[in-house]
Amino acid sequence: MIDVYASHPWYVDHLRPVYEALGDYRGELIQGFAKRHRLDVSTKPPILVCSWGDMATVRRLGYQHIALAQHGAGQSYPASKRPNYPSYPGGTGNEGVSLFLTPNRDSADRWKQAYPCTRVEIVGCPKLDTLSKRLPGPGPVVAVSFHWNFGMCPETLSVLPEYQAALIPLVKQYQVIGHGHPRRRDLPNVYRRTGIEHVTSFDEILKRADVYVFDNSSSGFEFAATGRPVVVLNGRSFRRDAHHGLRFWDAAGVGVNVDRPGDLLDGVARALADAPADVAERERALDIVYQPRSGATRLFADVIIDWSIDVQRSAA
């Protein structure tokens, strides 16, 4: 049996498809913050998590066989002051993991370099198999989303202060709904003052929006994977010579890039036009981020089952 632990709803979104696909190998799906009386059992099966924090939790509780999946695009920041930050691929503090599951070769290579004796598998992103399509309704609807401020490097900072004033003319021209990283607490007030409806559910964003405007988030790639256009916001402080990979800058072409607040309206209009050249660039970027682009749930589950069988054999 294989247990699955996810402390937050957005982690459940990533792992539930795999959990369902495990079939007879399905153990317990543990949601919310772990309670010792629930997890502290004499025989702990292999367990799957999708964040460094959840990995650390189950390791403290005595789990010996841990599979760690990415809960996003696998972004990391090697050109930062903390290139080996634990939460990102290749980070320190992941010695308790015996299987790394990644959406792409970029993140897989970082794990392999940091932990050469640990199994690493490229399995894509199972969440893509469950993403909602646009529901019928009036439009166009523009969704905007902003990252939280993480001061590790310029590229992990939100561009909201720079682009906030540019949201006002956007609201005058389009119906705009707002989303953001769950760590951001100020967005509801920011959006309310700007006349933007705050939408906490990304699934609702997928059902209502025609274009997605974001600065730095895996949700931007997920939205693009549904075949719809995105706009990529770049801040003045973002370093073009800082090669982190993926969003910075190999896959930044997933959407129309906007470098100045004054160009936001034109960027949204161009994205909505979805010209063939922009579609081709979006497809090229998505091929970098997700490998494979579809069918990841079955591949992911098969790898997890194979790993768990190896674990049982080694324990016998």
- 34-38, 58-62, 204-208: least confidently modelled range: 34-38
Predicted confidence at residue 77, as pLDDT, reads 96
Predicted confidence at residue 184, as pLDDT, reads 86
Query: Residue for token digits 């992911």?
Result: 300
CATH number of the domain encompassing residue 146: 3.40.50.2000
Burial 264-298, CB ≥16 within 10 A → b, else e = bbebbebbbebeeebeebbeebbebbbbeeeebbe
Token pair listed for 209: 């929006």
For the stretch 82-125, pLDDT in tens is 999 999 999 999 999 999 999 999 999 999 999 999 999 999 99
List alpha helices for 100-251, DSSP H. Answer: 105-114, 160-163, 167-173, 187-194, 202-208, 218-224
Whether 281 and 308 map to the same domain: the answer is: no
- Backbone torsion region of residue 131, taken as left when φ is above 0, otherwise alpha when ψ lies between -120 and 50, otherwise beta: beta
Q: For the sheet with 211-214, list strands across it.
A: 197-198, 175-180, 141-146, 211-214, 230-233, 256-258
Query: Residue for token digits 């972004």?
Result: 75
Token pair listed for 61: 């509780």
H or E segment and range at residue 53: helix 52-60
Whether 163 and 204 map to the same domain: the answer is: yes
Whether 84 and 214 map to the same domain: the answer is: no
The pLDDT of residue 219 is above 90: yes
Whether 61 and 155 map to the same domain: the answer is: no
For the chain, percent of residues with pLDDT exceeding 90: 87
For the stretch 220-255, pLDDT in tens is 999 999 999 999 999 999 999 999 999 999 999 999
Whether 178 and 283 map to the same domain: the answer is: yes
Whether 162 and 275 map to the same domain: the answer is: yes
CATH number of the domain encompassing residue 306: 3.40.50
Predicted confidence at residue 250, as pLDDT, reads 97
Count of domains observed in the chain: 2
- 34-43, 221-230, 273-282: least confidently modelled range: 34-43
Whether 113 and 207 map to the same domain: the answer is: no
Q: Which residue range is the domain that position 196 belongs to? A: 131-289
